[in-house]
Amino acid sequence: MKPSHAANDNLEDDLIRRTREVWQPRLGRDLSREDARQIAENMTGFFSALAEWSRAELPSPANDTGTPDASENGEVRHDR
């Protein structure tokens, strides 16, 4: 027996319905199901890019300088 995808279909239907509710008044015209699907997909992509950029801008931890420690490249410090 194949697994039911009804739950995913319901979520997608809800997303399309909500997208149409939000965007139709702003655009001043009726949106087709395909219009709403494309808007939802584009918005998802947009916010995914913003999240990726935000993660890329996070500062590195203080103990992670990105360069190998002297002990990792075979050097030994004797000044301590």
Check residue 59 and give its pLDDT. 80
CA distance 52 to 67: 23
Query: What is the average pLDDT value for the chain, to the nearest integer?
Result: 83
Model confidence, pTM: 0.60
- Using the Cα atoms of residue 68, residue 71, residue 75 and residue 80 in order, give the sign of their dihedral: positive
Of 7-16, 24-33, 40-49, 65-74, which range is least confident? 65-74
Confidence of residue 75 (pLDDT cuts 50, 70, 90): low
Q: What is the dihedral of CA 70, 74, 78, 79, to 10 degrees?
A: -20
Pick the closest to residue 13 from 29, 38, 37 (CA basis). Answer: 37
32-55, pLDDT tens digit by residue? 999 999 999 999 999 999 999 999
Pick the closest to residue 20 from 37, 41, 43 (CA basis). Answer: 37
